[in-house]
A and B are shown apart, each in its own frame.
Chain A
């Protein structure tokens, strides 16, 4: 048998005729899943509080979170958010500072940051655009929107643009969360505007977020016919 078997040809093999809105990206694995741990390195102990310099504001915020719970470990998630806000990502230095204040090992904190989607384990940017490509959004061509935004924002500095699982706003599908603010419904034509607004530090798509939600609760995002 001569010639390439289908799966050996490097070309795009997908059907794609029915919907151009394909999902070709393979699911990304969590950090530490594919690469083995460095066994020659001894595990890091709980840092000595005196050795680690922690910014006073960060320390105060973490300690305030620790005081709110019966068990201080419950403050892990908010403490890591605080450190991420300060450092832009969960860097080894950020983890060390949280570990020093909370009295836990950095490895424990890393087990948390690699589990939850909203922590950044790489310096990918301190601002984010999460484009929802969940089931309901993908029925409304969310992947095309994602690709348009990713292409338009390829040159953006310090901004993470990624697909995200269902963000719980299927009524405004396709939608995105930009630094926590939900906007939608989006079309490919919005991509440039979104990127320009982020670059200029302006509000993204004013009037198209949840906070400007019209008073009537139902069926308001359709853009289609009003309720008879």
Chain B
């Protein structure tokens, strides 16, 4: 098996979410080590590990933490547990099975960044996971892992679980901050970046759940150990969420750089009986689609980017050949149309018109020229908004048009004929 369990190593242990069980497998030893280390040493250890953000952008975690200015002021750490990218469900598992590792990672990351107030922004739909985190926090607080002078050191940190209320945009870091401040989740203009002016205008470090879960492991076992996993530029393991038309959807932890085929066909079992894979999203629904031949590429940040897509949140959605591509495009477009916050015109209007154009294609009102317009609308969204929500629709839709143009044309033709037949067959009084 190509599964390599590091983050999910003890997930078979019953009651892992309870503090004494977590401690019995070596939990919170990394924290003991970390409070004895200087924040600068922690930072350089994280940077040396090559750990890259697991939320989507893949930016070096250590580097991001080092952008937080020095000096005494209120600094914040936010854990992005909004996990709303369609196809992604890894953070849900991490928080539900092992909440203490996230908490430990956050206390350590807060020390590295000099933050003393930390928040977990969890999506409101994850009620079970939020309750588990709340219970785990109470345990950690009672044990002295949170609060003032943690384990007798100078480090102090408090943690609050903040529940969202159902908005995809709040996974975008600056919208997350607005939402955490009690506003509508609208993205902010950057710069200033959150590292300088984030939550309550203070310097803020924002990291994904999986990124922070890696932190105790790196501190405990060392950056050199971490670098032995994965490839040179994409270090560590990655929890991959596989969903869609596969036989065994689920979370699989693999080393970065394994062939994508081994994940999709080996671990997840490939397309259902009698079907073949038509295309796949390598990194959530925001990633441009790839074709079956790309399955032989190593699954890591660089190779996915080179193939014209992205690793994103490492959510593989497999589409089999029974699915009309126009319907997949429609599902994507409707999602982003619904979730667009409406702040920037290209995204607000672009997502709306994309839905309308796909509707025309599907109802037989479109001409082949509509495909050109569809493609050009996508081009005009990319790069023209404050955040990447619009791009997240534009890039996959543009890639579908690129790879499946004949199918779009055939769909238009077929839909037009069906509509004509219906019009001719319609009773005369209805036509009047």
Bound together, the chains give a CA A3 to CA B97 distance in angstroms of 62
Whether B6 is near chain A, meaning CB under 8 Å from some CB there, is no
Q: How far is the CA of A18 from the CA of B86 in the complex (A)?
A: 23
Q: Contacts A171-B251, A225-B269 known; A19 to B285 CB distance under 8 Å? A: no
Q: Is the CB of B128 within 8 A of A140?
A: no
A171–B84 touching, CB < 8 Å: no
Contacts of B160 in A (CB 8 A): 68-69
Q: How far is the CB of B166 from chain A (nearest CB, A)?
A: 3
Is the pair B244, A168 in contact by a Cβ cutoff of 8 Å?
Answer: no
* Contact (Cβ within 8 A) A6 B88: no
Chain B residues near A11 (CB-CB < 8 A): 422, 426, 430
B92: which of A27, A130, A168 is its contact (CB, 8 Å)?
Answer: A168
B11–A6 touching, CB < 8 Å: no
Query: Which interface class (under 10, 10 to 19, 20 to 34, 35 or more) fits B?
Result: 35 or more
Nearest chain B CB to A17 CB, angstrom units: 8
- Name the segment of B143-151, B176-184, B301-309, B368-376 touching the other chain: B176-184
A220 within 8 A of B: yes
Whether a CB of chain B sits under 8 angstroms from the CB of A117 is yes
Task: State whether A224 and B335 are in contact (beta carbons under 8 Å apart), knowing that A14-B363, A218-B3, A218-B250 are contacts in the complex.
Answer: no
**CB pair B183 A217 closer than 8 Å:** no
Answer yes or no: B12 CB below 8 A from chain A CBs: yes
Asked whether A167 lies within 8 Å of B125 as measured between CB atoms, the reply is: yes
Q: Do residues A71 and B317 form an inter-chain contact, with CB atoms below 8 A?
A: no
Q: Mark A67-106, 1 if CB is under 8 A from B, else 0.
A: 0111101111110110000000000000000000000000
Q: How large is the interface on A (under 10, 10 to 19, 20 to 34, 35 or more residues)?
A: 35 or more
The residue in A73, A119, A171 that gathers the most chain B C-beta atoms within 10 A of its C-beta is A171
Q: In whole angstroms, what is the CA distance A151 to B56 when docked? A: 38
Asked whether A60 is an interface residue with its Cβ less than 8 Å from the other chain, the reply is: no
- Given A4-B423, A219-B249, A219-B267, is A73 in contact with B125 using a C-beta cutoff of 8 Å? no
Q: 1/0 per residue A164-184: CB within 8 Å of B?
A: 111111111100010011100
> What residues of chain B lie closer than 8 Å to A28, measured between beta carbons?
338
State how many angstroms separate the Cβ of A106 from the closest Cβ of chain B: 15
CB distance from A94 to the nearest CB of B (A): 14
Name B268's closest neighbour in chain A (CB-CB): A219
Q: Which chain B residues numbered 230 to 272 have a C-beta less than 8 Å away from chain A? A: 241-245, 247-253, 267-269, 272
Name 20 interchain pairs, CB-CB below 8 A, sorted by A: A6-B364, A23-B334, A71-B181, A73-B182, A115-B167, A135-B244, A135-B335, A164-B125, A166-B84, A166-B86, A168-B89, A170-B89, A181-B127, A211-B128, A215-B14, A216-B12, A218-B250, A218-B253, A224-B272, A225-B248
Chain A interface (Cβ < 8 Å from any Cβ of B): 2-11, 13-15, 18-19, 22-23, 27-28, 68-71, 73-78, 80-81, 111-112, 115-119, 130, 133-136, 138-140, 164-173, 177, 180-182, 210-211, 213, 215-222, 224-225, 227
